[in-house]
Amino acid sequence: MHILVESQIAGDGMPGLPRRREPDLAGLATFVLDLQGTVVSWSVSATRLFGHAAQAVVGREVWDVLMTGPGQYELVHEALAEVAAGGVWTATVAGGDLGEGRFALRCEPLTGRGDGALVIAQRASPPGPGWLSDAVGRIGGTLDLTQTASEIADVAVPGFADAVVIYVAERLLVTDELAPPRAAGQRVVVRRLAARLAGAVPAGGPPHPGEVLSLGENMPGSRAMTAGEPVVFGVQDSEGAEWMGDRAGGQRLTPGCTAFLTVPLTARGAVMGCALFGRTPASPAFSPGEIVTAGELASRAAVSIDNARLYHQERRTALALQRGLLPGRPSVPAGMEVAHVYLPVGASVIGGDWHDIVPLPGGRAAFIVGDAMGHGPEAAAVMVQLRTAAHTLADLGLPPSEVLSRLDRMVAGMAAAPFATCVYTVIDPAGSSCVAAQAGHLPPLLVLPGGATRMLSLPPGLPLGLGAESFAATRVSLPPGATLALFTDGLVESRTRSLDDGLAALQDALSSTLAQPGGALAAACEAVTQTLREHGEDDITLVLARISQ
């Protein structure tokens, strides 16, 4: 990184330096030190930022001009030693005669101009009373729990502290509930969600999120969470030193920090965790006003964390239910080829469509396709009951007409009088035939070798739940190489395409993809659904079955 040093340097600046005009970058300034800490040049921007004229600064040691706070003398020598070794040193400092606020400093070798250090300073403090509102506005942009915690850390470092760590109660993340009031002597278990360090990052990088810690009752984090109040402490505090102690690999959680502030994360009247802020000796201790600010930041941040937690809880529940509703891998009997595709409408993972394949004695197999009215979670709730019942009834070896009759009685007794359709077929490879019955569903299509198609002629049947007395079944011969296609109406019907047009499109697509004898069913299934889904407004299911030759 190279920044041009101020052009309008006082006459006692470095001899031989060309005079350039420095860009006016708000809050940014540069000056040059020799390796003994003496100011050798001072820019106009440094005068604007720190309020010292060049004539009053050049030739003096920097710790007598700016870095007059506790520990800052040692900080300057540390920076100059790093620069002398060819490295770059960064830190966030405050206090002394720097002026109001906190400043991010960067020292790097002044190459090409003799020994020296180029110092780049930028105001890193809260710009004013509106800082808190601005900071809160940067939090909660997503509902990701870890990302939200990272956003909190980003707004706190380096503007408010040199280090920050965000902890959330482990019980809250694991069981989705807050721990009851803690009895005396009990420990608090927390998980670190995010950490930020200002300045140079220690070897091994910053602490990784996810570590679970057990805090003793007298540790600052436990005290803050139990009392619901901020706790200020230093490394001389034995419990605090234990909490801030070395981590695996010799890495310190908050390297260089000596002053700490822990505030509870409280949302909706419950303490969810705590935020730990740390400052180095170069920064002043936390003032009463800053403790109040930290509490307000933590309180507003806790709401964002809780929102993310609640969303994560709901999403995890939804995904678990969806995984439970999705069908398992069907078992295809020997002597048959099968392919199937299910596409829920929109952003849903599951809907009202279902299909199943149930092996039966004698090498036969039952193929079932059904459709509960609607889509989304309401239709899925009906669908999973029908799918389970149909599988159980098929496994008993009941004939198709009996299976549909029992499903009809079941649906009629369900709450909210759901509406559903179903087609049930039993394919017999040994007899080169199938038996099919339907309840308000579209009949299967038969694709003959060479690509000719015809729809099976099945007796009409009322949808499930309407109290039909019986469902008639029909036996159909399956010529060698013929393919049976079972599907739901979402594949062929929409508001922009009539049922007849959709069925004609399906027949054309099946004919073209299965015209070649022995064509792969999986490729045909994918190609047909992708061709017809452009008009789809409902869940789509397609099952292709063929007796192996």
Q: In the chain, what are the domain boundaries?
A: 28-123, 131-317, 328-547
Taking CA 351 as the corner, what is the angle to CA 350 and CA 354, rounded to the nearest 5 degrees? 95
- The more confidently predicted of residues 183 and 193 is 193
In this structure, are residues 234 and 222 in contact, taking their beta carbons and an 8 Å threshold? no
Top CATH class, 131-317? alpha beta
Residue 29: per-residue pLDDT: 86
Same fold, 131-317 and 328-547: no
Q: Give the CATH number of domain 328-547.
A: 3.60.40.10
Mean pLDDT (whole number) for 496-520: 85
Instruction: Write out the two tokens for 365.
Output: 């197999």
Query: Exposure of 177 by Cβ count < 10 A (0-12 exposed, 13-18 middle, 19+ buried)?
Result: exposed
Q: What is the pTM of this model?
A: 0.53
pLDDT range class, residue 518, cuts 50, 70, 90: low
SS3 316: helix
Instruction: Write out the two tokens for 441.
Output: 């569903």
Q: What is the pLDDT of residues 73-95, one digit of tens each?
A: 888 888 888 888 888 887 777 76
Top CATH class, 28-123? alpha beta
Instruction: Write out the two tokens for 467.
Output: 């109290």
Q: Report whether pLDDT(240) > 60.
A: no
In this structure, are residues 481 and 497 in contact, taking their beta carbons and an 8 Å threshold? no
Distance (Å, rounded) from C-alpha 252 to C-alpha 257? 10
Q: Report whether pLDDT(106) > 80.
A: yes
Q: Report whether pLDDT(443) > 90.
A: yes
Residue 402: per-residue pLDDT: 93
Residue 537: per-residue pLDDT: 65
Q: How does the average pLDDT of the chain come out, rounded?
A: 79
